[in-house]
Amino acid sequence: MALFKATQVVNKQQVMTADRASDVIVIFGDFTIPAGIASNDVVEMVPLPAGYVPVDVTVDNAALGTTMTCDVGLLSGDFDSTGARTCGAQFMAAQAGQTAGIKKLAVAGGTRIAPTANTRGIGFAFTTVATPTAGAVVRLTLQCRPAVEGV
């Protein structure tokens, strides 16, 4: 299982926050499918800042290959850490990526994930890969907000 990272993660783009506010912020990550991507590969796309909770997750993908399915969720470990990582399906499960499309948060409880003191990664894990389209682009957009005390 390989670990890949979105362009913004590789370039160490600063993690956005809305300190001492309750504004929703938008964070996005782009990933270009490389040759050789395989089932169980994980892609870290965006950070979920410490103390923040998700509001919505959107995936906009080109046609990714003959058969391409993935789960979208929280990654194990802290944001931008190295080594083996796993990905949950807190936001989307078994999403098809063979045709271009827009996918939205589709798992109950995805907006009720509790905040933590650490910045976590959000991304996807390819559960099935057959004949991937190298060069196809995926964008993940996260809308999140600071956790409100007592809520």
How high does pLDDT run on average in the chain?
91
CB 120 within 8 A of CB 86: no
Joined together, the tokens standing for residue 4 give 């890949």
Question: Which fold is adopted by the domain 3-14+23-146?
Answer: Jelly Rolls (2.60.120)
How sure is the predictor about 19, in pLDDT bands with cuts at 50, 70 and 90?
Answer: low
| Per-domain residue ranges of the chain | 3-14+23-146
pTM of the predicted structure, to 2 decimals: 0.86
Is pLDDT of 18 > 70? no
Joined together, the tokens standing for residue 142 give 């996260």
Question: 22 vs 46, which has greater pLDDT?
Answer: 46
Is pLDDT of 73 > 70? yes
What's the confidence (pLDDT) of residue 17?
67
What's the confidence (pLDDT) of residue 44?
97
